[in-house]
Amino acid sequence: MWSAHEHAVHLPAIYPLINRRLEQMLTEPAPHIKSYEPSRDDPDGALLKLDLEAEMERFDRERALLVDRLCMLTSTQWAVTATHDEYSSYGVYTMFRHIGLHDIHHAYKIEDRLLRKDWI
């Protein structure tokens, strides 16, 4: 079970992945997106080594850049699709809908960890 710290620093940690996927979908003629699972793809304890304050500043900075980029996408770019290891349907729109849900999930997990009576 991840700590509040791990949930928080995971949010900016995925921005390189998000940016790569977006670039891939916007530039490749038939993009294929590989699945990502932190417990499978990242070393154990890696998120605990990240500085919370620095990562939250990174999150603010990289989120603002990403939002600016998304505001520039055309309706055609939003409609770009790709194949995905795990999903039967995937594309630019789906990825960013998932990112929104992903962020809410981790925000909930952070609050859950901080509110627990047995949290130390």
Average pLDDT, the chain: 95
Say if CB 7 and CB 110 are below 8 A apart: yes
- How many residues belong to the chain? 120
Q: Is the pLDDT of residue 108 over 90?
A: yes
Burial 73-87 (b: 16+ CB within 10 A, else e): beeeeeebebebeee
Distance CA 105, CA 120 (A): 22
The alpha carbon dihedral of 39, 33, 15, 99 has a sign of negative
The answer to whether 24 and 31 are in contact (CB under 8 A) is yes
> For residue 88, is pLDDT > 70?
yes
With tokens 């998000």, the residue in question is 18
Confidence band (pLDDT; 50, 70, 90) for 119? Answer: low
Can you tell me whether residue 50 is helix, strand or coil?
coil
pLDDT digits (tens, 9 = 90+) for 16-67: 999 999 999 999 999 999 999 887 888 889 999 999 999 999 999 999 999 9
**pLDDT > 90: percent of the chain:** 88
Asked if residue 120 has pLDDT above 60, the reply is: no
Which domains are present in the chain?
A: 4-115 (1.20.120.450)
